[in-house]
Structures are given as C-alpha cells and as structure tokens.
A and B are shown apart, each in its own frame.
Chain A
Amino acid sequence: MLPIGHYLFLGLALFIIGAIGVVTRRNVIVILMSIELILNAVNINLVAFSRLYGDVAGQVFALFIIADAAAEAAVGLGIIIAFFRNRETVLEDEMDLLKW
C-alpha cells in the first residue's frame, strides 16, 4: 500500500475541482455533478484511512455517504425539474426570486 498522503492528495484534488465547479459554473445540473465529485473525494479519504487502520468502519461511513448522495441527487433533480417547469431555465443566476 502506498503512503496515506497519496490518497489524501488525490482526495484534495478531486474536492477542489468539485468546489471550483460549484462556485464557477452557471448550469445547476453541472453544479449538482460537482457536488457528487466532492462526496467522492470524501469517500476516497474514508476508505484510505479504513485500510490504513484495518478498521472497516470507514467503509461503512462511505456507504452512508453514497446513500446520502443518492437521496440528494433525487431531491435536487426533482427541484430542478419543478423549477424548469415554472421558469424555463436551469441557470443559477437567473434563480433570483428571493433577491431584491
């Protein structure tokens, strides 16, 4: 097994790429995909530490994160469909009903 730092740096890289996607893109669907990237980066860290310590709890938590990601994607995409039906847009800077 490689030193744990390799996995941490890979997780950091994926997390930052996902964060850049969240803050810079306009399309809400791509923003949701970037959130999936962030959750994956966390999973890599959890599984790497689970392997390092020989404790399977990290993998169980990664499973819970995957279940959360599924729930989040279902609700988020439902919101996007409902919003698109009302406003005919999926761009985040046009979602400004609560702004003044």
Chain B
Amino acid sequence: MLDQAIFYLFAGVAVVSAILTVTRRNAVHSAIFLITALLATAGIFLELRAEFLFIVQIILYVGGIMVLFVFVIMLVNLDVAVRQLQFARQKWVGLLISLALAAQVGLMLWSSRKIPGQGVPVLNAVPADKLPPNSEEVAKSLFSSYLLPFEIASVLLLVAMIGAVVMAKKRT
C-alpha cells in the first residue's frame, strides 16, 4: 500500500516535470524541471530498494551533470534563443511518429500481460526485508563479474574528459 502511494507520487512528479522539461521556452526552466524529474526517478530507485543507485543518481546526475548543463546555459547566451521559434519545422511529424511508437509499445505491453507464460513475467519479487545489503551486492557484482566493463567505462570517461577539454579549448 505504502509502496503504491510512493510509486504513484514519484511517477506523477517524474512524468509532469518531464513534460514541462520539453515544453518550457526558457532553457534554464527546462534544466530545473529536468532536475525534478531526475530526483523523482531517484525516489523510484529507492522504492525499488536500489539504495546505491539512489545515491549515485542524486550525486552524479543532479549534482554533476545538471551543474554542467546549467553552466553551459550560462556560457551560451540564450536571450536571443528565447525570443525565437521554440519548436522545429518537423514538430507535427515528429510528434505523430513518437506517439505512434508509444501506441505500439504500449499496446504490446498491455496485450502481452494476458498471455500466460509468454508475456511480461509476473513473478513474486523477493520481500523487501529478505534482500541482501544493496551496496555490498552491487560492489561484489561490479568487481567480480563486470570488472572488464568497469575498466572500459573508466577508459571511456578518460576519453570523454580529454575530448571535452580539447573541444572547449580556445584556439590560439
């Protein structure tokens, strides 16, 4: 019961602020609503008992990536862009195709739950008080089964860092 209330609260906040993110004219407002959407997603992670991801989502997304976004919005002068046309010329085609995709996937999810044994599985999840400590489990999995992807991710971050520095550097 409490799970349901928390889920619907955070899901509502996430969907509403996502819609506001893509419709607000001012990019700073979009960034702030994106922060709310990401925080609501963090709440859903907590409701799913993924405590480590909850903390990572807040520290890395809201604290790191969004600061980067707001910083770039301040560097790039957007006063001109606010007064210009907000949506691209292909907006109606894009909206139509996106909604068609939504209808397709939604119909698939909706119809597959009635087929026993073939659709989206309906299992009984492990009760919350029987779960092992989350951070410990994530660390064990990350540093044993997924050690190579972990190292590759670190190389990727290094490459991204060098690439960002080189591209944002002033040409002399």
Q: Chain A interface (Cβ within 8 Å of chain B)?
A: 1-10, 12-14, 16-21, 23-27, 29-30, 32-34, 36-37, 40, 43-44, 47-48, 50-54, 56-57, 59-60, 62-64, 66-75, 77-82, 84-85, 90-93
Which of chain B's residues has its CB closest to A92's CB?
B88
Which of chain B's residues has its CB closest to A51's CB?
B48
- Residue from B56, B95, B141 within 8 A of A20 (CB atoms): B95
**Interchain residue pairs with CB less than 8 A apart (26):** A4-B122, A13-B15, A13-B102, A17-B22, A20-B95, A23-B90, A24-B94, A27-B86, A30-B22, A34-B21, A36-B38, A43-B41, A43-B45, A51-B48, A52-B125, A62-B53, A64-B149, A66-B53, A68-B153, A69-B65, A71-B157, A77-B72, A78-B165, A82-B167, A85-B170, A93-B88
Encode contact with A along B133-172: 1 for CB under 8 Å, 0 otherwise: 0100110111001100100010011011101111110100
Question: How many interface residues does B have (CB within 8 Å)?
Answer: 87
- Residue from B21, B81, B159, B161 within 8 A of A91 (CB atoms): B81
Do the beta carbons of A40 and B87 come within 8 Å of each other? no
In the complex, what's the smallest C-beta–C-beta distance from B23 to chain A, in angstroms? 8
Do the beta carbons of A4 and B18 come within 8 Å of each other? no
Given A8-B109, A24-B91, A57-B145, decide whether A1 and B3 contact each other with a Cβ distance below 8 A. yes
Do the beta carbons of B164 and A75 come within 8 Å of each other? yes
Do the beta carbons of A90 and B164 come within 8 Å of each other? no
Do the beta carbons of A53 and B86 come within 8 Å of each other? no
Do the beta carbons of B21 and A21 come within 8 Å of each other? yes
SS class, residues of chain B in contact with chain A: helix
CB proximity to A under 8 Å, residues B44-91: 44-45, 48-50, 52-53, 56-57, 60-61, 64-65, 68-69, 72-73, 75-76, 78, 81, 84-91
User: Chain A contacts of B15 at CB under 8 A?
Assistant: 10, 13-14, 17
User: Chain B contacts of A23 at CB under 8 A?
Assistant: 88, 90-91, 94-95, 97-98
In the complex, what's the smallest C-beta–C-beta distance from B171 to chain A, in angstroms? 8
Given A2-B3, A5-B109, A90-B76, decide whether A54 and B126 contact each other with a Cβ distance below 8 A. yes
- B101 lies within 8 A of chain A by Cβ: yes
Nearest 4 Cβ contacts at the A-B interface: A23-B94, A21-B22, A71-B160, A78-B167
